[in-house]
A = this chain, B = another copy of it.
Amino acid sequence: MAEEVILLDCWCSMYGMRARIALAEKGVKYEYKEEDLNNKSPLLLEMNPIHKKVPVLIHNGKSICESLVIVQYIDEVWKGNGPLIPSDPYEKAQAWFWSDYMGNTVHEYAVKIWATKGEEQEQAVKDYLGGLKLIEGVLGDKPYFGGENFGFLDISLIGFYSWFLAYETFGKFSVEKECPKLILWVKRCLERDSVSKTLPDSEKVCEFAYEFGVE
């Protein structure tokens, strides 16, 4: 049976990037459908009626929602190019934990950099950099988060890089200055086609962030 794989996504969603990178790593052919988040498609509302959010993976008519769940699904359904998720239970637990930490806690600090000013923004910058430094500590001196190979936690984290410039511009700070090893890891990831072809231009994200800023 011919497979039908569709991804409902938005170009600047770091959660969507997780799905796109995983699909690219596995060499899965799929139809990409860009969503206008101000005017969501009937297909998105049908396929993710609970949260109405991207990304949604539709595989032969069945929808899979929530970015980490999608990456897990992709890893299990398409076995090509080896597993993305660590097989060791403890490493797997760590990868889920830090993926969740970046996608929720640290992302909330980032949104505050975008949405606030003055002292509140200064605190958000401190919190955000604190979160990134913790994550940099998890990387340590390894080339990738899982060790020698690019995997689940790298996929979960790398999309957030495309918003660094926007946050840096809003909050007047430099991630590279504070977390140089993290930026070396970013550069290593960007050498992979799956990442470089997925991540949008940081300048474009920055323009988007200004346009849709909450000021």
Which A residues form the contact surface with B (CB < 8 A)? Answer: 50-51, 59, 62, 64-66, 68-70, 72-73, 76-77, 89-90, 92-93, 96-97, 100-101, 105, 134
How far in angstroms is the closest Cβ of chain B from A173?
A: 22
Q: Which residues of B contact A97 (CB under 8 A)?
A: 64-66, 69
* Contact among B76, B90, B105 with A73 in the assembled complex (CB-CB below 8 Å): B90
The answer to whether B50 and A134 touch across the interface, beta carbons within 8 angstroms, is yes
Taken together, the copies of this chain in the complex come to: 2
How far in angstroms is the closest Cβ of chain B from A60?
A: 10
* Contact among B76, B89, B92, B105 with A89 in the assembled complex (CB-CB below 8 Å): B76
How far in angstroms is the closest Cβ of chain B from A13?
A: 18
* Contact among B65, B89, B96 with A66 in the assembled complex (CB-CB below 8 Å): B96
Bound complex: CA of A180 vs CA of B72, how far in Å? Answer: 34
The answer to whether A50 and B93 touch across the interface, beta carbons within 8 angstroms, is no
The answer to whether B50 and A76 touch across the interface, beta carbons within 8 angstroms, is no
The answer to whether A76 and B101 touch across the interface, beta carbons within 8 angstroms, is no
Q: Beyond the given A69-B97, A73-B90, could you list 20 further A-B residue pairs with CB under 8 A, ordered by the A residue number? A: A50-B101, A50-B134, A51-B105, A62-B90, A64-B90, A64-B93, A64-B97, A66-B96, A66-B97, A66-B100, A68-B96, A69-B93, A69-B96, A72-B92, A72-B93, A73-B92, A73-B93, A76-B89, A76-B92, A77-B89
